[in-house]
Structures are given as structure tokens and as C-alpha cells.
Amino acid sequence: MRLMFVYFIAEDAGSAQDIHHYTRAAQELGHEVVLYGWPGALPSFRFRRDLRWADAVLFVFEWTTNLRFGDQLDLLRIVSQVPRARRFVIDCDGAYNDRIMAGPDYNHKDEASSRQWVEVCDALSDKIYQPTYHPQRPNVRPFLFHAYDPAWERPLDFRGKEYGMTYVGHSKFRYGPMARVLRAIEPIRDGFGRIALVGHGWDSMPPWAKWMQIEDYFYTDQEFLRKMGVEFVQPVPFAEVIDWMSKGIFSPVIYRPLFSHLRLVTCRTFETPAANTIPLFGLDEAYVQEIYGERALELVLPEERPQDKILDIVRRPGYYADIVRGIRRHLAEKHSQAVRLRELVAIVES
């Protein structure tokens, strides 16, 4: 089967790693996956513009609905050339919903933009999918989209770590969940080790946030981050994400509040357990058990005395590494890239 993703691709953000590995999994399983766009636009990805080539076109909507290497006529061009039955929408950010407020986070700034976006998606396809087992709209179907690749796995070795904690991901609506982790470290900060946050917006407002009118997305408490001695690292390409997480004894798995509310999975859901680190889940216990298995509950950051859990991880990483190995086996069986691609092919064939 020949699948074409329509997606704004960036090597240091979003689902670039997933798209890249869908291509590899497709080759291994006798299928083909490409991105819609100009051939050669980015050397890490395959692009095509011949829409007749594709058996199915999948619109993957994340932080933007635009295309990076296109023009304002791309959606119109695709709709005019690809029959509706061959068009699918994968809504990775929960935008295909009524307006939702989750603490400071939201999927739309107002009801009008929510209605407009639902109408756009409905015009593209009647097959709408979201990466959650619990869609809120009755016409939305689950498809987790993001996946785990056993080939990512780094050996678990905690000797000579550069950092006590590393986190790779932009600060977009994530300061609150990150502050909870850092507050847990605060009582044991002396002797804990270095802390690194890798991504846009942790040290300062991204330069493009103002003209996009999304300054509130990137709120951080700079005084507290400086007090904690946090080191800031600029975004890294997707191929370096797992290695950067591997520099820390543990790496938090946290979501923006909207994603936690919708129980979405993200690329970090599956990348973090593959790194040479202990994933520390700042997530709901029911969600953790649903995605990672029961023993993963030992890696949930508790509400009471969370510093004790962090201190135990730092002191006994070998014990927790055994839990991570179990998580890896579970993800390889239930959520591998090959499993996900077979699910996607079945969706298109149905």
C-alpha cells in the first residue's frame, strides 16, 4: 500500500521521528510511505507531489495546519485530486473538539475558531482519528499514530551520567507539569546533579511567539528556573532526541494539560522508555497503566513526598532499570512501529 502524509515537517519539533520511522517500517512490510511535497526538500524524508500515486492521503495535523514546503493552494489541490474516500485526518493535538480549557491550556482561543476547524476537517474527510483511546466526539475513532521502535533502545547503563535529569521538549504549556517535577527535586537539590531542559521557550520567549500571538503558550518562571540551576539547550534534531534524554539518570514524561485531559499519546510517550534513562511519569496512574503496563506505576511521581521517589531512583537506578526493560517489552509487543503501520493499513483498507 502507498500512503502519503500531509504534514508540516521540522527536524527539531513534532512528529518527525514518527514519520521517519513509518517510512522504514513500510519498506520492511512491503508498503511505501512518503510526505506530500517537493522531492529533496529535506534529505531525511521522502517527498512526492504526484497525488495519483497514493492509495490514501493522511492529513496529520499538529501545531500548525500549514505545510512547510508548499503554498496556500495545497489543501485545495489535494482535495480536488484525491477522492474523499481516500482522505483521512489524524488530529494529533485534540483540535477537532469543542473548545476545551484545561487549566491555562486550551485547544482553541474561542468557540468560533473551534467551529471553523471542525468544519475544515469535516470538509476534508469523514474519517477523523485522534491518538487517544478515549475520543470525546462520537464520530472520532482512536488511532494512536505515535509508536515505539525497539531499534531506538539504548543499553541501560547509569555510570558516569552527565546530568541528574534531562528533558527534551518545548515549553509550550508544559511549565506547570515541569515545575511540579522541579519542586520535587528542590528539597534534594544539593548533590542532585545537573538539570537540562532542551527545546524552545524554557530560557526565554521564542522570537516568533509574539507575532503569532501565542506568548501565553510559553510562560515560565525564570527566577525559579535560575534558582534551580537549570541549564538550557537549544532544540536538537529528532535523531538526537533519545541520546539527549540518555544523558540523565531520569527524564520526565509530562504533557501539556490539554493532552493529559484528552489522554493523548505523543512522540515522547514512546521515545523516553527507549533512552538510557529512567522515565518518570508525571501522569495519571490509570493512563500510565493503560499505555505502559501495571509495573510502570512504580515510576509515577507521587503526590505525597515526591522527592522520596526521585531520591530512590537516583540511588537505585538498577532496580528501576528492570522496570524499564519490562516497559520496553510491553511497548515492543503492543505499540511498535510495525504494529502501528499494520493498524493504519487496516484503517485504510476498511
- CA distances (Å), 240 to each of 158, 198, 271, 275, in order? 19, 11, 11, 11
Residue 27 pLDDT: 86
Regarding whether 272 and 161 lie in a shared domain, the answer is yes
207 vs 201: CA distance, rounded Å: 9
Regarding whether 285 and 230 lie in a shared domain, the answer is yes
Residue 11 pLDDT: 61
pLDDT, tens digit (0-9, with 9 covering 90-100), for 94-140: 999 999 999 999 999 999 999 999 998 999 999 999 999 999 999 99
In this prediction the pTM is 0.92
Residue 7 pLDDT: 84
CATH number at residue 68: 3.40.50
pLDDT, tens digit (0-9, with 9 covering 90-100), for 201-235: 999 988 888 877 888 988 999 999 999 999 999 99
Q: Which ranges constitute the DSSP H helices of 130-266?
A: 175-185, 222-227, 241-245, 257-262
- pLDDT averaged per 10 residues in sequence order, the chain, 350 residues: 86 72 88 84 80 94 62 76 95 95 94 92 95 97 96 95 96 96 97 95 88 87 97 90 97 97 96 98 98 98 97 96 98 96 95
Regarding whether 133 and 189 lie in a shared domain, the answer is no
Regarding whether 164 and 113 lie in a shared domain, the answer is no
88 vs 91: CA distance, rounded Å: 10
Residue 41 pLDDT: 67
Regarding whether 166 and 25 lie in a shared domain, the answer is no
214 vs 208: CA distance, rounded Å: 9
* 8 Å CB contact between 21 and 242: no
CATH number at residue 256: 3.40.50.2000
Residue 122 pLDDT: 94
Residue 73 pLDDT: 64
Regarding whether 253 and 117 lie in a shared domain, the answer is no
- CA distances (Å), 7 to each of 74, 210, 350, in order? 11, 24, 23
Residue 42 pLDDT: 72
Domain count, the chain: 2
Owning domain of residue 173: 150-334
At residue 176's C-alpha, the angle toward residues 282 and 191, to 5°, is 70
Which of these, 220, 240, 323, lies nearest to 44 by C-alpha position?
A: 240
